[in-house]
Amino acid sequence: MVAANLSESSSFTDYFDFFNLPRQFQIDRSVLDRAYLTIQQEVHPDKFVNQDDQQKRRSLQMTTYANTAYQTLKQPVPRGFYLCQLAGLDPQLETNTTMPKEFLIQQMEWREELDDAKSDLSKLEALQQEVQVIQKEWQLQIEKAFDEALAPEKALEKLRCALFLERFLEELDHRLSALI
């Protein structure tokens, strides 16, 4: 899934600039939320119902852009990949699957746990909590790589792991929601 092109010229250099935020991994969620709502007040199609077609079109494009930008920045993993993209790095998601050995071992263990838990709600929830704690740790490391070490290529390696975790959690969540 990729963001659709905003066909017309935009004077904003990137999503961070659009929301008037510094270009870094760590964000103040309340500032982002407020900026998002402020922009929506300006561009939302409901404000242009009585306008000419050109303004309606522009409003649709800008609101779409605002939604995409917001969805990208508010979640850590998409935000990280976006920062890498801005740094000119190719995420190589399809081709590069190298990951630290201990991470892969942990993954395999979790996978086994997931299989063993079958439909046991409490086991699944315990596993979910465990993975979420580890996920937070990875996020912290990613933040350090981006904002302190200023090393996006290092962050990218960690982001691949974080993406793995996220997909695992999604699968877990899918199993959980089937149970309730």
Partner 1 sequence: MALLQISEPGQSRNPHQRRIAIGIDLGTTNSLVASMKNALPEVLLSEGGQAFLPSVVRYLPSGKTLAGYEALAQAVIDPKNTIISVKRFMGRSLADIGNQKSLPYDFIDTPGMLQLQTVAGIKSPVEVSAEILARLRQLAEDTFNDDIEGAVITVPAYFDDAQRQATKDAAELAGIQVLRLLNEPTAAALAYGLDHAAEGIYAIYDLGGGTFDVSILRLSKGVFEVLSTGGNSALGGDDFDHALLQMVLQESNLMQLTAEDQRALIFKCRHAKENLSIHPGILLEHTLSNKSAIQISISQETFFQLTQDLVQKTIQAVKKALRDAKVSLDDIKGVVMVGGATRMPHVQHAVETLFGRAPLNDLNPDEVVALGAARQADLLVGNKNKNDEWLLLDVIPLSLGVEMMGGLVEKIIPRNTPIPVALAQDFTTFKDGQTAMAVHVLQGERELAEDCRSLARFELRDIPPMVAGAARIRVTYQVDADGLLSVSAAEEKSGVSASIHVKPSYGLADGDIARMLTEGFASAAEDMQLRALREEQVEAQRLMDAVDSALQIDKHLLNDAELTLIEKALGALRQLKDQENIDLLRAGIEALSQATEEFAAKRMNANIRRALTGKNLSEI
Interaction site with partner 1 (CB under 8 A): 1-5, 8-12, 18-20, 35, 37-46, 49-55, 58-60, 62-64, 67-68, 70-71, 173, 177, 180
Distance (Å, whole) CA 177 – CA 42: 37
The amino acid sitting at 28 is D
Instruction: Give whichever of 71 and 106 is closer to partner 1, judged by the CB atom.
Output: 71
Residue 131: CB minimum distance to partner 1, A = 16
Residue 137: CB minimum distance to partner 1, A = 20
Residue 115: CB minimum distance to partner 1, A = 19
Encoding tokens for residue 144? 């350090």
Instruction: Give whichever of 20 and 119 is closer to partner 1, judged by the CB atom.
Output: 20
Instruction: Give whichever of 30 and 98 is closer to partner 1, judged by the CB atom.
Output: 30
Q: How far is CA 149 from CA 26, 140, 158, in A?
A: 13, 12, 13
DSSP string, 86-125: HTT----TTT-----HHHHHHHHHHHHHHHHHTT-HHHHH
Instruction: Give whichever of 22 and 100 is closer to partner 1, judged by the CB atom.
Output: 22
Residue 45: CB minimum distance to partner 1, A = 4
Name the residue among 48, 156, 27, 38 with its Cα closest to residue 92.
Answer: 156
The answer to whether the beta carbons of residues 114 and 175 sit under 8 Å apart is yes
DSSP string, 32-47: HHHHHHHHHHHH-GGG
Residue 102: CB minimum distance to partner 1, A = 30
Instruction: Give whichever of 43 and 99 is closer to partner 1, judged by the CB atom.
Output: 43
